[in-house]
Amino acid sequence: MKRIGEILWLGRALRASGWNWRGGLTGGLKRSLMSGGLCAFGMIALSLLGTPLTWASDAKVQVTAEAEPQAIEPSGTVVLNVIVTSDRSVAIEPPTLPPMSDFEVIGNFQSSETRATLVQTPTGPQFQSVQRSVFSFQLSPKRIGALSIFPVEVVVDGKAYRTKALTVRVAQGAGQAARPRPQPNLGMDEEGEDLFDQLLKRGLRQLPQGGTRTLPTNPNEAFFIQVETDKTEAYVGEQITVSFYLYTTGIIRELDTLRYPSLKGFWKEDIEIATQLNFQQEVIDGVAYKKALLASYALFPIKEGTSTIDSYQVRCSVIPGADPFGGLGMGRQLQLTKSSLPVKVQVKALPTEGRPADFTGAVGEFQVTARMDEKNPIAHQPFPVKIRFEGRGNAKMIELPALQLPEGLELYDTRNEAKFFNWGTSFKEFTLFIIPRRDGDFELPPFAASIFDPKTKSFVRRSTEAMRFRVQASQGAQSQRESFQKNASAAPSAPRGPRLPEPVLVYEAWAPSAVPMGALGLSGFALLCLAGLGLHGVRLFGKWGRPTLQARLKQRLKALDKVSAQGEAAVVGVQAVNAMAFTLGEIVGDYSETREVARLIQSLPPSLKQSHGEELHRLLTEFEAMAFAPSEALGELARAEARRERVVALKKALQRVVELSGSGERSI
């Protein structure tokens, strides 16, 4: 802003020394236009604008793909993540998967987030945002070998991006290195309080009714693998929690996981994969065992029928028969392999009777809350409303139905974020960016989603409360009201006179260019400035005389076309609003430093206001949003094609208004 103030000061100084913004040049300054006066102006402008210019560029987009894990068992699954990152809001079309001859797609979901970080730049600290969208696909292999996932295509802002090809190795015994190997904890006397707290959080201390738990049948076994599930009968999409434990009466010296369960037929979320063995004591039929968690998962059946939770297999080096006083025992070290017993789960189809039309497949016990972080929304400025579903189940399946907002409120964009917690619950949060088109009192209707509750075996509707709030008028609207009240009783406006340069609506700091500006480069840049100023002076004040409104409008629209082709939304918005302020101000005779475009539209002759007033108001609202709204709230206007369409509409509207007003050939 300091630099802008210096430029405005320069304009005032030139006007005081002989420059007339409407009448051109007075005698002395006009005679020296092509000599010392122009050189002085060029050098002063060069000193003020010495920071090299960097033109706005398109969004920086990166599209990548990764497969997790990269090596699996033949009965396992792999998750293909297609990740799109950009430095601003972009329009992303769903990925186009290549032909999947080696895999079967058994599930998919999407998540997105926007992060802002404060970074230090040569012009001071600035916020830089990164938008990240992840499209995940769960794949099941059809054969053994090195299977290829060919490039995935994603269209971002109308441009196609392709990921690199990936390879997944499918073989017996593959993929074990991808899992962290539990390491034995030699401190066998620890009480395991942390594990106890974790078990309480997961609700696995006491097995729920309908679950299963395998128990040791031979107390002389050196160790065995137990499997626990909280249920053996579930609906499609209902959460099942399964955990695998190691039980021993001896001392575990070494443990090697030979096979993790593939869990085919389930969508799987990791709750906890042990990286070391934390033992606690448990007595079964009078025998004291030490028990340690190996892995815990949240499973969601994909289709009805019978699905199997297959075995977890480990190989252990164990010293059996430790004495009850904490000694290492007298037995020799054994190396044994054990597996958990498979568990069958009966999966029931969701009922069709009473199923709501907006049901999207969410099954579980969820609560919903809503909040507005912005306590005092302002008209024509976006504000976020957050709706959060959280509970036991797969919240990633929850979707909001189409929103019916009251008149005066518009939905600009929607973001969502989903996460599964390691204590067995999940959440999904929707962020709605809403723009009020007027001030006053509003009421947001309740936000709701249909969910199947497996406890009640019925469909339920989780809904928020209606939210009442008041929108304050924007500063522009307040100024407009005050101006109308003042003009209602004021005398006719004073005749037009000299005026200052047009205001800059938005200032954005320029980033330094990567091109060094040495003495030679600086001199060249100065010469270009002087040459350009000279040509511009000849055109404006030479044989052509003073330009007409039509000619000045043509120059502005040409500049608007240029930034529309290569600029970002904020630059296009500022240029467009400036063009409207200039053109309408000339038509209605408003030459003040700060022109309120909405007031200028109201001041147009009745015939022009009737024919073009509504269209100009709409375009003004959209271009102001481009100029001032955060990128994530732009919605359709974030697309370059949509911005170009608005620019074409504005050009036609302004040219038509100038033509109908009869001011086009007037010199200015």
Q: What is the DSSP string of 488-542?
A: HHSPPPPPP---PPPPPS---PPPPPSS---HHHHHHHHHHHHHHHHHHHHHHHS
Indicate the fold that domain 61-175 takes in CATH. Answer: Immunoglobulin-like (2.60.40)
Same fold: 61-175 with 364-471 = yes
- What are the tokens at 508? 């954005």
Give the pLDDT score at 584. Answer: 87
- Residue 24, strand partner residues: 20
Domain boundaries, the chain: 1-50+516-544, 61-175, 179-348, 364-471, 546-668
State pTM to two decimals: 0.47
What span, in angstroms and rounded, lies between the C-alpha atoms of 126 and 303? 50
Give the pLDDT score at 326. Answer: 42
Give the pLDDT score at 232. Answer: 92
Distances (CA, A) of 118 to 125, 244, 375, 443, 568: 6, 44, 24, 35, 21
Indicate the fold that domain 364-471 takes in CATH. Answer: Immunoglobulin-like (2.60.40)
Give the pLDDT score at 480. Answer: 47
DSSP count for the chain of H helices, then E strands: 11, 31
Give the pLDDT score at 190. Answer: 41
Give the pLDDT score at 506. Answer: 42
- Output the CA angle 74-77-81, nearest 5 degrees: 140
What span, in angstroms and rounded, lies between the C-alpha atoms of 174 and 183? 20
- 214 exposure class (CB count in 10 Å sphere: 0-12, 13-18, 19+): middle
What span, in angstroms and rounded, lies between the C-alpha atoms of 557 and 579? 7
Give the pLDDT score at 32. Answer: 41
Instruction: Provide block-wise average pLDDT over 10 residues at a time, the chain (668 residues).
Output: 44 44 41 45 45 50 90 84 87 86 80 63 63 85 87 89 89 63 50 43 48 81 91 93 92 88 90 86 85 92 92 90 47 85 94 88 90 86 91 87 86 86 84 90 90 91 90 66 47 43 43 45 63 58 63 86 81 86 83 70 81 87 78 76 89 88 73
Distances (CA, A) of 13 to 8, 197, 507: 9, 74, 22
What span, in angstroms and rounded, lies between the C-alpha atoms of 296 and 195? 12
DSSP-derived letter for residue 564 is H
Give the pLDDT score at 571. Answer: 83
Give the pLDDT score at 12. Answer: 46
Architecture of the 546-668 domain: Up-down Bundle (1.20)
